[in-house]
Amino acid sequence: MRVLGIDPGIGRCGFGLIEASGASSKALDFGVITTEVDAPLPARLKELYDSLTTVFEETKPEMIAVEKLFFSKNITTGIAVAEARGIVLLVAEQKGLPVYEYTPNEIKKCLTGYGSATKTQMGEMVRVNLGLEKKPKPDDAADALAVAIVCGISYKLSGEEKYKFSNSRRK
C-alpha cells in the first residue's frame, strides 16, 4: 500500500511516500515543496497546487495522509496552513484518492508513545520505523513521513477506513 503523507504549509509543504506492507514500512520518496515568500497569495497557492499535482502523479499513491489543522497562537500561520490543506484536499479529491487525517498529538503518540514528543524524537522514530541511516531532513519531510507511517499502521490495525476524511463523496 503506497501512502503519501503531507505536512501542509504555504511556504513549506512536506511530502513523504512510503510503501506499507505487513509490519514494516519503507520510504520511497520525500521532500519539501516551497513557494516564493514575496509572491502574492494566489500565486503561491497555484504554485503549491501545481507542485502537489506533479507529486501525486509521479508518486502514484493509493491513499493520502494529512496532518489535521490545530489551532495555534499565531492566527496568520493557522490560516495559511488551512489554505494549504485546502489545496491538498482538492488535489486528492481530483485524483480520486481517499484522505486520512491525524492530529499532531495522534501522530506523536503513535510513533513515540508520548503526545508531546520533540521534533528530534519524532525524526528519530521516523528513521527507525523506515530503517533509514539518517533522520530525514528537513523536518517538514520527516513530519510528512510520520503521518504516512501512522496512516499505514492505523489502516492495517483498524481493518476499516475509520479515519477517512468525512467530507469525501466516496463511501
**Residue 139 bears catalytic tag:** no
CA–CA separation, 41 and 36 (whole Å)? 10
Catalytic residue (one of 19, 29, 38, 140): 140
Catalytic residue (one of 7, 101, 139, 143): 7
Residue with cell 480520486: 96
**Residue 140 bears catalytic tag:** yes
Q: Are strands 2-7 and 63-67 parallel, antiparallel or unpaired?
A: parallel
85: three-class secondary structure by DSSP = helix
Catalytic residue (one of 38, 67, 101, 124): 67
**In terms of residues, how long is the chain?**
171
Catalytic residues: 7, 67, 140
